[in-house]
Amino acid sequence: MNEHLIKEFVQETLGCGCPEEVFNQIEHMKGEPIEGGLILRDRIVIGRRLLVYIYEDTDGEDVQESVIRTLLTAGVHERNKNSFNRYRLVLLTQTPEDNKGLSDRTARVIAEFDDRTFAHIIASDSISF
């Protein structure tokens, strides 16, 4: 069941145009720790090609630039180490449309990375897995 929801999320919400056969293999882990003492809400690997980190700041604070940089650096490192094609960081927030500060911080940091790295800011309630 989760695999169908993950596929739908990646294709529709994140806009991934991965070939259909890539979705035959989906790895999904919850609560994965990464460097800097951060805990991912979800870590997803699709078809050994796409790495997705989903992060939600559980204390209700806004995600700081240093946290965004840590998440992007860790994901790019994992992507490169495992020879994945793409890395997508998903930042969850209650009101993404009203969070210009988070958008600005994310845009500043993502500009430091390559064209195989993407960041998305979406509503917390848009994930059903």
Q: What angle, 0 to 180 degrees and rounded to 10, lies between the N-to-C axes of helices 100-110 and 65-81?
A: 40
If you average pLDDT over every residue of the chain, what do you get?
92
What is the average per-residue pLDDT within 4-25?
Answer: 94
C-alpha 51/C-alpha 27 separation (Å) is 10
Per residue in 14-23, pLDDT tens? 999 989 999 9
Could you give all domains of the chain from N- to C-terminal order, each with its CATH number? Answer: 2-126 (3.40.1350)
In the prediction, which pLDDT does 94 show?
Answer: 84
What is the average per-residue pLDDT within 59-74?
Answer: 87
Q: Copy the structure tokens of residue 49.
A: 């090609």
Confidence of residue 1 (pLDDT cuts 50, 70, 90): low
Is residue 46 within 8 A of residue 22, CB to CB? The reply is: yes
% of the chain at pLDDT higher than 70:
96
